[in-house]
Amino acid sequence: MRRIESVYRHVLYEILDRHSRDFLFKQKALSSKCGISISTVNYALKPLEQMNAIEKKPMGFRVLAPKKILYYWASIRKLRKDIVYQTRVHMPVNEMEKSLSPVVFTAYSAYKFLFNDTPADYSEVWAYGDESVSERFEKKEGRPNLIILRMDDDLKSFKSTPIAQIFVDLWNTGTWYADDFVKALEVKINGVLE
């Protein structure tokens, strides 16, 4: 994941997960949280300002349109570049999920665990972790249904996968049932933003 994406993740986490009604942010605080330079934070904010998703202030910025940030992030996310391991596993999804600790689930599994619901049946498990998963799930031929993405240090700082991260990952998975999950998550996001 590109370093600028951690800025979007933190901003949207405050709004969507922590239900912050104060849409004011400071670049210096984001720089510290994300472990990146202030110039990188400003670089990440530039397109958001151009599309009127944020308004720059003397000591920070105000989020005007959180959904614009979410959709922008989803449109630039390069999910496939972060794949560190993938294989075909011949077992039910829930058994795969139980066998995968310790990982940070995203996409379908993360939605299921966060909301205790699934808008559609799914047959893939996406998670953040490392290649050590190959010790439990050897490489097999066939369409991969276990996909492990590179874990970044910033993501480790969250107790669970942020809602925005789940959304942008679902947006980029490319399965027919991802649309059902995206639509259901949009309804939940709209409920938070109302």
Q: What are the tokens at 58?
A: 């003397």
Question: How far apart are alpha carbons 80 and 1 in whole angstroms?
Answer: 10
Residue 101 has pLDDT above 80, yes or no: no
Q: What is the pLDDT of residue 131?
A: 87
User: Rounded mean pLDDT of the chain?
Assistant: 94
What is the model's pTM?
0.95
In DSSP terms, which residues pair with 54 in a beta bridge? 63
pLDDT at 89 over 90: yes
Token pair for 40: 């990188």
The pLDDT value given to residue 159: 87
Q: Give me the residues paired with residue 148 across strands.
A: 85, 127
> Residues 65-81: what's their mean pLDDT?
97
Q: Domains of the chain, with CATH numbers?
A: 3-76 (1.10.10.10), 79-193 (no CATH)
pLDDT tens-digit series, residues 124-173: 999 999 888 888 899 999 999 999 999 998 998 898 899 999 999 999 99
What's the token pair of residue 189? Answer: 């996001």
- Residues 13-38 have pLDDT tens digits of 999 999 888 899 999 999 999 999 99
CB contact set of 142 (below 8 Å; sequence gap of 6+): 88
Amino acid identity of 59? Answer: M
Percent of the chain with pLDDT over 90: 84
Helix (H, G, I), strand (E, B) or coil at 136: coil
Find the distance separating the first CA and the last CA of the chain, reported in whole Å: 30
| Nearest alpha carbon to residue 189 among 76, 104, 69 | 69
Between residues 192 and 21, which one has the greater pLDDT?
Answer: 192
